[in-house]
Structure 1
Amino acid sequence: MLQAFLAILALISAIGLVGSIRVIKEAHEALVERLGRYHRRLKPGLNFIVPFIETIVIEALMSERVLEVPPQQAITKDSVSLKADAVVYWQILDLRRAYYAIDNVEMGIRNLILTMLRSDIGQMNLDETFASRKEINQSLLRQLDEGTGTWGVKITRVEVRDITPAKTVIDSMELERAAEIRKRAAILDAQGSAESMEILAQALKLDPNSREFLKFLVAQRYVEANQKLGESPNSKVVFMDPKALTHAMAELIEGQPYTGESDTNGNSSHR
């Protein structure tokens, strides 16, 4: 009888010994409650607890973690709808507070950044959101670090990854960008033409604003136009009185109306 009792006692002791051994992994910590109240922390390695009296309530990673925030809808200051997503790097510094101060610390961080991200974007115009991404990251980091301080965690870095407006807004931006490119090209072309005319006037030793230079330009354009017309497969041969053409060009430059009629001496007449 005594031997049976001792055997049962030894078996219970062995079970209790095995149940009291806890191995905590590297970079982790665990919290132990005794009879329902916080008692102590367990560090990485071999640890022992009192069976049936002490309980491990949580074991958590203490090194830096990554929390991804999926794309969220937001409205800019100029009423443009867009989506933005982010990545938060965070670390538990005090496991006791992270467990007891908030029900779910990861969900708390996610909800905080969603609120703050929408708030920061709502204070900016669309163009500012693209140009101020670094400022948004810094603002979110500061606000999150302050908001999570009582939870025993540290926000180490926040990165807003993508800011994507609605497709209609993207199409409108592309049209605006194309119009701006065409405008710049037209300005550059006009500047190039002005510089070419200046160089040509210097080569001819003429004043760019003089009537003689204007006559030369009109004649040059006329020759170029006729050359292009002659190269066209649909071109037609048109015979014109050179003297009448000369008078027409001269009167055009001088600002006098040309009637196309000539007197018996070959001089053009005016009505």
Structure 2
Amino acid sequence: MESLIAALALAVVGYIAGSVKIINEGNEGIVERLGQYRRSLKPGLNFVIPVFDTVLVETTREQILDVDPQQTITRDNVPLTVDAVMFWKILDVPKAYYGVEDLESALTNLVVTALRGEIGQMDLRETVSGRNKINQSLLHQLDEATESWGVKVMRVEVQELAPSKTMLESLELERAAESKRKATMSETESTVESIQRISRALHGQPNSQAVLQYLIAQKYVDANLKLSESDNSKIIFMDPKALTETIGELISADQTELGNNGNGTNL
């Protein structure tokens, strides 16, 4: 009799122990009875039916999903490597558990698809200056898409937007060519301005032609000296007479203009 009472007492203690389920703060439990969803368990002390009930625990804390760098293409066909991170949390545990097979994998695929679609609608300049715009657009798209899964997307941050190595080299060459073009234009404008000053200074002088020939000869010698100092120097034959005639025509034209305007200057 005593052994029976002891056995019953142990059974009761075991039943009570098996029926008690404590859920920690930041988690939520799901109760399945014989394979079917019955109810959710909130943080604290909960009671279930041993053997018949199975408890599954999911976190409701904010989680981080770091997406691996992805290859994307902008609207102007520039390849970019994009790296993003998403912060999310489960608001409805039953929806998150039963609504999708693999929640984290589904979220990753969703982020990658949205990221490629957003970058594909922008050109390179827009992506470089519009990172905040990309973040906000992704947040809106992902939060809306994950609502049916009981998930809340808190924020999305694009960490890196990097063109390919080939594209970076191409951009660098383009910048160098643009700088060289501007320098050449500036030098040309400076040369023209110098010739115009000489023209004004020589206007009306009896020895203007001789002075002009001297200046051109000096420039000719200086140019050849600089050319000979170059590692890949080449011999170039120039006709000083032709240069004199060309610049002489320019000076004559400038002098005519000065004469017409009545602004000639005599030394």
Q: TM-score, normalised by structure 2?
A: 0.71
Match of 1:111 in 2: 109
Q: In structure 1, list runs of 5 or more residues that go unmatched.
A: 235-246, 256-271
Paired residue for 2:200, among 194, 207, 212? Answer: 207
Match of 1:151 in 2: 149
Q: Is 141-150 or 130-139 further displaced after alignment?
A: 130-139
Q: Distance in 1 between matches of 2:88 and 2:202?
A: 71
Taking the TM superposition and a 5 Å limit, the aligned residue runs for 1:27-176 are 27-57=26-56, 59-176=57-174
Q: Report the Cα offset of residue 149 of structure 1.
A: 1.0
Match of 1:20 in 2: 19
* Greater RCO structure (CA 8 Å; 6+ sep): 2
In structure 1, the residue corresponding to 2:167 is in which secondary structure? Answer: helix
Q: In structure 2, list runs of 5 or more residues that go unmatched.
A: 230-240, 250-267
Q: Distance in 1 between matches of 2:204 and 2:123?
A: 53
Give the 3 Å change call, closer, same or farther, for CA 129–248 of structure 1 in structure 2: closer
Match of 1:9 in 2: 8
Q: TM-score, normalised by structure 1?
A: 0.70
Higher gyration radius (CA): 1
Q: Distance in 2 between matches of 1:120 and 1:99?
A: 29
Q: Distance in 1 between matches of 2:136 and 2:167?
A: 27
Q: Provide the aligned C-alpha RMSD in A.
A: 3.7
Q: Distance in 2 between matches of 1:156 and 1:218?
A: 77
Which one has a larger percent helix, Structure 1 or Structure 2?
2
Q: Report the Cα offset of residue 189 of structure 1.
A: 4.8
Q: What is the aligned length? A: 235
Q: Report the Cα offset of residue 251 of structure 1.
A: 7.1
Q: Report the Cα offset of residue 17 of structure 1.
A: 2.3
Contact 1:32-1:41 within 8 A present in 2 as well: yes
In structure 2, the residue corresponding to 1:77 is in which secondary structure? Answer: coil
Give the 3 Å change call, closer, same or farther, for CA 221–56 of structure 1 in structure 2: farther
